[in-house]
């Protein structure tokens, strides 16, 4: 899989949160939550593969995040190659 950088708006959709504050807090307090990468002074993002790995590691109702949920997200992402 080619890694791509996702910005905060897409990360919020991917994680199902509405607040940027939530992501900022998770970065500070959740062990293992992927850290953002600074590209330029005001541009940062997260590696999609690191987010997917983190999601897969999170228990959901005694189980794991279903692979189908991750595939569904991928199908809604714009194709960066056009």
pLDDT tens across 8-46, in order? 999 999 998 988 889 999 999 988 999 999 988 889 999
Which domain covers residue 42, as residue numbers? 5-76
pTM: 0.67
Please calculate the CA angle 48-22-10 and round it to the nearest 5 degrees: 35
Within a domain: 82: no
Q: Which residue has the tokens 């897409």?
A: 10
Name the nearest CA neighbour of 33 among 18, 51, 45, 47. 51
CA 31 centroid distance within chain: 15
Structure tokens at 28: 């500070």
Within a domain: 71: yes
CB 32 within 8 A of CB 12: no
Within a domain: 17: yes
Within a domain: 51: yes
How many domains would you assign to the chain?
Answer: 1
* pLDDT tier, 58 (very low <50, low <70, confident <90, very high otherwise): confident
């Amino acid at each position: 899989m080619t890694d791509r950088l996702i910005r905060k708006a897409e990360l919020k959709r991917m994680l199902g949160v509405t607040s940027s504050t939530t992501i900022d807090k998770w970065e500070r307090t959740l062990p293992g939550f992927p850290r953002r990468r600074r590209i330029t002074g005001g541009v940062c993002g997260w590696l999609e593969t690191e987010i997917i790995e983190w999601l897969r590691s999170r228990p959901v109702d005694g189980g794991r995040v279903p692979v189908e949920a991750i595939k569904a997200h991928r199908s809604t992402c714009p194709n960066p190659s056009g």
